[in-house]
Every structure is written in structure tokens, then in C-alpha cells.
Amino acid sequence: MTKSSVIKVDGLVSAYGDDVILDRISFEIREGERFVILGGSGCGKSTLLKHLIGLLRPLEGSINILGEEIGGSDEGAFQAVLRQIGVLFQGGALFGSMTLAENIALPIMEYTDFSKQYVDTLVRMKLALVNLSGYENYLPSEISGGMRKRAGLARALAMNPRILFFDEPSAGLDPITSAELDNLILHLNHTLGTTMVIVTHELDSIFAIAQRVIMLDKNVKGIIAEGDPRQLRDQSRNHYVKQFFNRQPDSVEME
């Protein structure tokens, strides 16, 4: 049975001044799906993510998340949507002067009136989910880059979001740590059923975690491919799509 859509983008136009980045793109993301947004440098991946998490408003078109039109919603409805999403930014975006426990507790304390004892219990549960039990009192500077990513993920999970957004989760990680993070994303998706929306251009991660992708192109200013990444790699008739998925450089004639 086809699952319902939790995100619907219809005719989205995004621009910085007179420079159009995305021109009338439309797509849907289904509940529980692992969905990847990919493409070459400057294609608008990060811009699209900013629209999806409410940091940018569309010039034209609409973005519907969990049944709420976020571009035209009132502030109360918009905040209600934000409480149902979590975001893992590239560097983890942890507060350096706060312990991991304090970082994770921050959204819980902001949006709930739970007792400190209950918040502490939730923090330990979130850290356990990302294999960081026992690191509650560490500062971000005292742990590795991969651990900071996982701590950032624990904070993104703090409010039990229905949708998790990832901005280049493998950036700055060695191949082994990157693979471990991919496995953690898969595990969380399987156990929690959370919808995962990942922005990346890392092929190994794309093939490891993506159920469906959209590929953006900076010349088209929109989507040039959509579907299973393996099928796009093997069957796409678009030269650039095949080139991207097969990691093939442009031909260069040598003298």
C-alpha cells in the first residue's frame, strides 16, 4: 500500500535577487521514506533544504509539510510544524560551551514543561539511540567529529520528530565513520519509522541509504532525474545523470 505524503512541493520558485536558483519544481516525499536530494555544486540543494525547514519562503509555489502550508501559515501553525521536524546541520551545530546533555535538553525544555528528572532521562535515551551513552557531560570539543555528528543527531531527535532533515551528514568524515553514520540512519529509520530527507552528493551514502532521490541541475534550475539511484545509474538516458552516478569525469583530450 502506498504511504501518504508528508511533504508536498508544488511549483516552487526560489531566487536570490534576480538570480533564479530553482524554477517551478514539484515533488512529494512519503511517510517513512529515506529520500535524498542530490546534484552537483551550485544546483540548489542547500537552498531547497532551507525552504523545507522554513528558513526561506518561496518566491512562488507552495510547500506543504504534514498537512500545513508553511509558506503562508500563521506563526502558531508554523511553530507547530517545526516541533515535528528535526535537523542535523553539517557541523552538528552544537553549542560549544554546553555539554552534550545540555545541548540535547535545550529543545525539550523550550517546548515542554517536563521535570528536570524526566528531561535527564530523555537526554540519556536520545544519547543511547546514537550510541553515545555515558557522554552526557562531555563538551563538543572533547569528542571526535563523528561523535559530534551523532550528538547533533540526538538533539535533532529530542522532540521525537516525524521528519528528520540531514545537511551533508558525511561531510568531513572519514569513510569508516561515514559508513557508521549511514548505518545509524538506516537503523533509526527502521526502528522509529521517521521520514529521512538527506541532502548529499556522496555516492557511497546515496547507494547505502536512499530509497528514492531527486537530482537537481544548476543549468535546468530544477529536477532532471527522480527514482531509485541504482536504476538511474544503470538505466538513465540523461548523459549527466549517468556520468554523476557512475563517477565519470568529462572526457579530456591529452596532447
Tell me the per-residue pLDDT of 147-199, one tens digit each, with 9 for 90 and over. Answer: 999 999 999 999 999 999 999 998 888 999 999 999 999 999 999 999 999 99
β-pairing, 5-16 with 60-65?
antiparallel
Other beta carbons within 10 Å of 152: 26
pLDDT at 251: 59
pTM here? 0.92
Closest C-alpha among 131, 104, 99 to residue 120: 104
Domains of the chain, first to last: 1-84+206-247 (3.40.50.300)
In whole angstroms, give the CA distance from residue 18 to residue 3. 38
φ, ψ (nearest 5 deg) of residue 170 = -90, -5
**Least-confidence region, from 88-92, 105-109, 127-131, 205-209:** 88-92
In whole angstroms, give the CA distance from residue 59 to residue 19. 12
Strand order in 195-199's β-sheet?
A: 85-88, 163-167, 195-199, 34-39, 212-217, 222-227
